[in-house]
Amino acid sequence: MPKLRDIIDRIKGEDLHQKLNESAEGSVCTEKTAALIRRAGAEGAVLLKNERNTLPLRQGEPVAVFGRTQIDWFFVGYGSGGNVLSEHRINLQDGLEQDGAALDPEIKEYYRSRCAKQKKKVYDWGKWPFSLPEAPVTREMIEAAAKRAETALVVLGRCAGEDLDMKDEPGSYRLTKEEERLLKLVSGAFKKTAVVLNTGNLIDLSSLINDPAIDALLVCWQGGQESGLAAADVLTGKVCPSGKLAASWAEFSAYPGMEEFTGPGEADHYTEDVFMGYRHFDSHRDGLIFPFGFGLSYTAFTFAAGTFTRENGSVRFSAAVKNTGACAGRETLQLYVRPPEGAPLTLIDYKKTRLLAPGEEETLTLSAADGMFASFDEKKHAFVLRAGEYRVFWGTDALTEAEAGRFTLKEELLIKQCAPLDDGRAFTAPEACAPSGVPVTVQEIEAGLASTDGLLAALTDEELEYLTHGEGYMESELGVSGNAGVMGGIIPSLREKGLRPLVTSDGPAGLRLNIHTSLFPSGTLLACTFDDALVEELLACMGEEAAAVGADIVLGPGLNLQRNPLNGRNFEYYSEDPLLSGRMAAAAVRGIQSAGVSACPKHFCCNNKENGRKYNSSDVSERALRELYLKNFEICLAYSDPLCLMTSYNRINGVSACYHYPLVTGILRNEWGYSGLIMTDWWMIYEPSPYFPALKNSPARIRAGVNVLMPGNRSQRDKKVHNDPETLAALKAGTLTRGELEKNARYLIELQLKLDGRRA
Ligand code: BGC
């Protein structure tokens, strides 16, 4: 009964509805950042259809642009991940004008005055609109415009967000009657019609794709503050599109596991198991509209396969990519493995060319270690390559049939032996540090005059407890205005010992503060660039903004897999594929942290649905966890070193992520060796530990390995700083030990040492 629970949570002030920041001062956005946001916005746009060379628009030729979204453009999705107060935002109409497009003046003016008259509403958390009602149009108006211009653009917009999954309804996942009418009238009257989609989620495309009167389709996603300009760059041909889909685009009924997602139950059974996304569509092509990895260009490429090898536990393949078209462009090569029966097609590497001028060629070499396509055997608790034939494919989307090479394993090959999931039975509490009686400060540790052990031993039990949670609430006065809360030096006695308040700020589309900061492209758009280096360079700008305003921890990137097109937070996330998600997240972490602040990849793990997110259980096999929903995090950690990480709200196989000892301590800490700080998502749920019967709530969370509860207090209404009596009681009763609290606090002290070291 999630609804009743939600009501009770609301009454107790324990719901997840946040107050959004509404006004800002100053600005930290630089020209360099704005230029990179624009570049990324254009690089991530995906051209899905382009009959009769409808796009790019010809210079000087008039174009009539229809649809309210050209002005009421969706720059980002809703919720904590979208609440960035940028100083300026450029919508598509303005972007097209700036890029010199010859917009039909009457139609332009109609939308301008119509949208200006619309009252700007303020919506409650989670009650935001998926789309805005279309401005009415008449047949006469359209037919008159078609006499003035040969080409029309129809701009459609969709938006979802945190606590707001899309619905399989008109205006949300489906087109409305008004939108369909607009498309019909416009495409019937104009010689050429292109549709521009401005959305955070995939939506129903069937009517657009099957309609021969719709000549072109460009998906611009939600590209942040410059996104109208970025979209215009592609539409006018300033930039040749090179974005590729980061998720399979199919008819609604073709996605596996949809019944579960839309159903009212508290548990989502991941019945498709490892066959999610293109792994499913590889063998079920009915209903698939555009495959993962797909995207057209204005230019043309030819490919020449080079050598394929499998040596020393890895495959390697190279191919030459030549631009044989008329304009400069980029192409992305993708390498897939189809293992023997029973294991899915898997993307194992991708690479994008530099900008190739017409006639220019680049040879790309793609490679992957065997581990990238190993299957997890639940009985053996091991990643293995099963005996049989492995075929390696290369191409520009997941449907590629171009074989790079193949190899056969006569016997099963062990790739990595894991332990059975650790249920905590063998848990032993760590020893407490020996007290020296000498006071120690963080600065003394930094100067090499004292040790962390010394500081830990000198902390009182109460001080150690204060290091297990944040100050209590968001918008702390100890940090920059509009922050998401602070941890560390939250009381005077800790500050006297040199622990400073470490300030958090959302993420991932920019800093969510009461300062004008830059609004970056959504995760989905970034993934569609398939360009790790660009993402790293761009996200370094976010890190620099964080350093400039004094935010220590950026709450992003978000890297949950886009298991289902309806998930409201898909815009924050990258892809349905763990390799693409993991590498993008790693690039974001490297970028953010290059400025001396911490990133915080989130939400670990299986946060794939918003409705009822606090109580949902993602019921998923260990194999699917290992191959998909943990793999993205594992890859992110392999390619970057995030100083912090956030758990999710949802349960995994019935256990809330912040109490999940097997996943947090067993896998993240012990198996993968993650040594950064782990925090909860904001306001965890309060429950007994399923692994340690004597523990519940924060003591159970600390034992599970989740170091800091954020923002700290149980209720959003509680604005006081105080100890959690349950943790102190557990300490007194001996069900939680001082050694555990010291071990926990060490992560926080080390985080400050690392941050101070990077800034010095
Ligand atoms: C979201 C997180 C976010 C946090 C702080 C939560 O509701 O799930 O992603 O970082 O709030 O705003």
Beta carbon of 602 within 6 Å of any ligand 1 atom: yes
Buried-exposed string 547-578: b where 16+ CB fall within 10 A, e elsewhere: bbbebbbbbbbbbbbbbbbbbbbbbbbbbbbb
As a whole number, mean pLDDT of residues 563-583 equals 97
As a whole number, mean pLDDT of residues 386-393 equals 98
- Give the DSSP letter string of 576-635: SSHHHHHHHHHHHHHHHHTTTSEE--B-BTT----TTTTT-EEE--HHHIIIIITHHHHH
Asked if 619 is an active-site residue, the reply is no
Atom of ligand 1 nearest to the CA of 558: 9
Residue 293 is predicted with a pLDDT of 98
Q: Residue 311 burial by CB count (10 A; 0-12/13-18/19+): exposed, middle or buried?
A: exposed
User: For residues 343 and 418, is the Cβ–Cβ distance under 8 A?
Assistant: no
Q: Which amino acid residue places its CA nearest to atom 6 of ligand 1?
A: 682
As a whole number, mean pLDDT of residues 179-207 equals 96
Share of the chain above pLDDT 70, in %: 99
Atom of ligand 1 nearest to the CA of 600: 10
Beta carbon of 707 within 6 Å of any ligand 1 atom: no
Beta carbon of 16 within 6 Å of any ligand 1 atom: yes
**220: closest CA among 582, 577, 571?**
571
CA 488 to chain centre: 27
Distance 649 CA to ligand 1 centre (A): 10
Instruction: Examine the pLDDT at 423 and tell me if it is beyond 90.
Output: yes
User: pLDDT tens, 661-697?
Assistant: 999 999 999 999 999 999 999 999 999 999 999 999 9
| Strand arrangement of the beta sheet that strand 655-656 belongs to | 267-269, 617-619, 651-652, 655-656
> Helix axis angle, 725-733 relative to 738-759, nearest 10°?
130
- Helices within 153-268 (DSSP H only): 177-189, 206-210, 227-235, 258-262
CA 746 to chain centre: 29
User: For residues 703 and 695, is the Cβ–Cβ distance under 8 A?
Assistant: yes
Residues with Cβ within 8 Å of residue 208, at least 6 apart in sequence = 183, 195, 214, 217
User: Residue 43, by phi and psi: left (phi above 0), alpha (psi -120 to 50) or beta?
Assistant: alpha
Beta carbon of 559 within 6 Å of any ligand 1 atom: no
Beta carbon of 80 within 6 Å of any ligand 1 atom: yes
Beta carbon of 397 within 6 Å of any ligand 1 atom: no
Residue 265 is predicted with a pLDDT of 67
Distance 612 CA to ligand 1 centre (A): 15
Residue 263 is predicted with a pLDDT of 67
Of 681, 683, 684, 716, which is best to mutate to test ligand 1, by the most ligand atoms within 8 angstroms of its C-beta?
A: 681
Atom of ligand 1 nearest to the CA of 711: 5
Atom of ligand 1 nearest to the CA of 163: 7
Of 80, 483, 560, 616, which is best to mutate to test ligand 1, by the most ligand atoms within 8 angstroms of its C-beta?
A: 80
Instruction: Examine the pLDDT at 701 and tell me if it is beyond 90.
Output: yes
**620: closest CA among 646, 666, 652?**
652
User: pLDDT tens, 512-527?
Assistant: 999 999 999 999 999 9
Residue 130 is predicted with a pLDDT of 98
Distance 701 CA to ligand 1 centre (A): 18
Distance 603 CA to ligand 1 centre (A): 9
Indicate which residue of 641, 681, 718, 724 is catalytic.
Answer: 681
As a whole number, mean pLDDT of residues 286-311 equals 97
| Phi, psi angles (nearest 5°) of residue 108 | -60, -50
Beta carbon of 573 within 6 Å of any ligand 1 atom: no
Residue 290 is predicted with a pLDDT of 97
pLDDT confidence of 499, banded at 50, 70, 90?
very high
* Angle (CA) 576 203 259, round 5°: 70
Atom of ligand 1 nearest to the CA of 16: 7
Atom of ligand 1 nearest to the CA of 648: 8
Residue 5 is predicted with a pLDDT of 83
Residues with Cβ within 8 Å of residue 343, at least 6 apart in sequence = 274, 373, 375, 386
The whole-angstrom separation of Cα 163 and Cα 95 is 31
Q: Which amino acid residue places its CA nearest to atom 2 of ligand 1?
A: 681
> Helix axis angle, 631-639 relative to 578-593, nearest 10°?
40
Beta carbon of 240 within 6 Å of any ligand 1 atom: no
Beta carbon of 555 within 6 Å of any ligand 1 atom: yes
In order of 529, 631, 681, the CA distances from 352 in angstroms are 9, 22, 35
Distance 464 CA to ligand 1 centre (A): 25
Gyration radius of the chain over CA positions: 26
Beta carbon of 457 within 6 Å of any ligand 1 atom: no
Distance 293 CA to ligand 1 centre (A): 29
Beta carbon of 626 within 6 Å of any ligand 1 atom: no
Q: Which amino acid residue places its CA nearest to atom 12 of ligand 1?
A: 80
Residue 759 is predicted with a pLDDT of 81
Beta carbon of 681 within 6 Å of any ligand 1 atom: yes
Instruction: Examine the pLDDT at 287 and tell me if it is beyond 60.
Output: yes
Beta-bridge mates of residue 505? 554
How high is the mean pLDDT of the chain?
96
User: pLDDT tens, 471-490?
Assistant: 999 999 999 999 999 999 99
Which DSSP letter does residue 435 get? P
Residue 493 is predicted with a pLDDT of 98
Beta carbon of 630 within 6 Å of any ligand 1 atom: no
Instruction: Examine the pLDDT at 2 and tell me if it is beyond 80.
Output: no
Residue 4 is predicted with a pLDDT of 82
Of 483, 649, 682, which is best to mutate to test ligand 1, by the most ligand atoms within 8 angstroms of its C-beta?
A: 682
User: pLDDT tens, 250-282?
Assistant: 999 999 988 777 766 689 999 999 999 999 999
Q: Which amino acid residue places its CA nearest to atom 8 of ligand 1?
A: 681
Beta carbon of 506 within 6 Å of any ligand 1 atom: yes
Atom of ligand 1 nearest to the CA of 507: 10
pLDDT confidence of 236, banded at 50, 70, 90?
very high
Helix or strand holding residue 290 (H, E):
strand 288-290
Distance 479 CA to ligand 1 centre (A): 17
User: pLDDT tens, 607-651?
Assistant: 999 998 998 999 999 999 999 999 999 999 999 999 999 999 999
In order of 499, 543, 600, 617, 679, the CA distances from 646 in angstroms are 21, 18, 6, 18, 5
Distance 169 CA to ligand 1 centre (A): 27
Of 6, 505, 506, which is best to mutate to test ligand 1, by the most ligand atoms within 8 angstroms of its C-beta?
A: 506
Distance 80 CA to ligand 1 centre (A): 6
Kindly report whether the peptide bond that precedes residue 739 is cis, defined as omega within 30 degrees of 0: no
Beta carbon of 484 within 6 Å of any ligand 1 atom: yes
Instruction: Examine the pLDDT at 209 and tell me if it is beyond 90.
Output: no
Distance 236 CA to ligand 1 centre (A): 37
Distance 699 CA to ligand 1 centre (A): 22
Beta-bridge mates of residue 488? 501
Q: Residue 238 burial by CB count (10 A; 0-12/13-18/19+): exposed, middle or buried?
A: middle
User: For residues 60 and 102, is the Cβ–Cβ distance under 8 A?
Assistant: yes
* 0.85 surpassed by pTM: yes
User: For residues 685 and 656, is the Cβ–Cβ distance under 8 A?
Assistant: yes
Share of the chain above pLDDT 90, in %: 94
